[in-house]
Structure 1
Amino acid sequence: MTEPVRRIIHIDMDAFYASVEQRDTPELRGRPVAVGRSQERGVVAAASYEARKFGVRSAMPSLVAQRKCPELIFVPPRFDVYRAVSAQIHAVFARYTPIIQPLSLDEAYLDVTDPLLPRPSATAIAQEIRAAIYAETGLTASAGISYNKFLAKLASDYRKPDGQFVIPPGAGEAFVADLPVGSFHGVGPATATRMNALGIYTGADLRRQTLDTLVRHFGKAATFYYGIARGEDPRPVEPHRPRKSIGKETTYEKDLLQEEALFAALATLSQSVWHACTRRQTSGRTVTLKLRYVNFQQLTRSRSFPDPVTSAIALEETARFLLHPLLPLPRPVRLLGITVSSLASAEEKPASRQLSLLSNFE
């Protein structure tokens, strides 16, 4: 008996944070809006479509965004509001399927192969979902519909904003052939650059590579790249996808250079990350320190242990241990971050390993 063709929808809210702000403050509608802070170390968290026309993008330094768009209006983020609206949106999804994989507050995959409500097609379901979201939140969403996750996500970008697009069974390979590999979800900027250096610019170029060639250059990711070049992606929609890491990073108003200031910053970050770990009743065996200098050079340093970290103190000591070889700093630091990964549930954690963990630093 053959498996039924999967019906996957990718829903992506349009300029979510900025659209919420424009919805709640009518005078912002139709104007270029950036969610973030207009300050020297500020970063754009989201930009309205009016701002994007000027080249303003998320993760862009606020000063650069202001230069690109002098009329840009900065609005401080309200994450409690965004989370509440996201919950409304996910409640709409749940009317149609229990198989929902959130990617962020404003984006999710839905498997509607066997929907809760009888509808003639995934296209009709996506249309209903988008209409319900607009009716209940006043916000627009875009949707991509296809037979796998990779193609559904590509399709959702194709009619943005406030539209939807279908890639039907059998059409995936032709659809990706002319697209640049840099537009593929799962191919980041660094990988796209490496592919370009190998003469791989489009999906068709990628499809011409043998699996052995891709393995030689891209290792474990080669099988995924080989598949998507042919419009294939066997990954299921995972409604209970486990969290892989917990972290916190901060861009500082004043650069950090002195050890005292650096260690104080690590203590604050460690407390914040540990609070998040305890709230989720988890911890992890790998601690990663992220550091960004004023010239935007970025470093990461990690250490793994046999057992999960058991306290904020142990986390702070690990971060200090990772920072120590970098001292004295060659230049000031603008950003620090701490992440815990290789997560384990509270039940899996040993009763107390803090002393053995800290003994590594003696």
Structure 2
Amino acid sequence: MKRRIQRLRHLLTAQNIDALLVLNRINYTYLTGFTGTRGYLLVTLDDSTLFTDFRYTEQAASEMDESTVVRELGLDWLDILAAAIKEKGVETLGFEKEHLTYAMYQSLAEKLTPVKLVPLDNPVGSLRVIKDEREIALIREAVALADRAFSYILSVIRPGIRENDIALELEYFMRREGASGKSFDFIVASGTRGAMPHGVASDKIVETGDLITMDFGCIFQGYCSDMTRTVCLGKPSADQEELYSLVAEALKVGTAYLKPGVIAQEVDREVRNYLAAKNKLQYFGHGLGHGLGLEVHEPPRLAPGSGEELLRGMVVTVEPGLYIKGFGGVRIEDVVVCHEHDIEILTQSGRELITL
């Protein structure tokens, strides 16, 4: 945690910022280890202080190391926070512009005069994009949990089961195996519902002949997994097999092109070029992938217009899909980590079309 805060201080110094007020829970957890739902982290160039209320003071002390001081807030919490900022001699205070409400901004500006408030664009997120070895190990465990859940669910799916039941079984399995929760609302889209890329699980009954797309993941010690597999209940038609093979090949194209030093949008472009050559690009309407970590969607984005360079320590998903209204859809998604000279595909589940 000390190293992360020190990296943040270098960033602040480069922008002539005296201190940063961190409001986002994921971000203050990343910097301190504190997982409570209410906290305000003040990071100056010399020290760091977490402000929270009496419900969390003991928890904060137990979860954080001694480099961050815990201060209890009362009912006049904003006055306490503003006074502490002034006491530290802060002249220029940065804040996360995505997470400070206008109402709180107005109150702070009034109480902190003449301190200058400076909006910053995701300052902690820019640090989180590069994962250390411990973070990668936790993501690997979360991905392995999802892999095991996929193996399990294959024995559960049968004609007559509801999509919601499949989602519940997936979540229950991963929680039983050590997950603290699901990383997002699971997508289980069968039959023609598979044409909806974000078709969250419904009460639809799964029928023989359906393609079933399952997009799911869990949280393990704070870190997320995210995977998608499409299976067929019963013998697939020739059109279903063709659609699946195109997506499976698109996944190969994307992961083959992905490596450290490549620009994120170029990976997406490579897959789009492949699908365009197959006259199927019109059925691919989302980005190829996204970063993964403490949140299920993080930078970098593998999408048009994404100019980030892929670097060692970045963890991304690769998830091509084709969606045809009135027919259904196919998506396959893997999690990939960038190492110094190559990549590692963390998702171990097979990519062939499974017939149940």
TM-score bracket relative to the smaller structure: under 0.3
**Would you tell me which structure has more helix in proportion to its own residues?**
1
The alignment's TM-score, normalised by the length of structure 1, stands at 0.26
TM-score (norm 2): 0.27
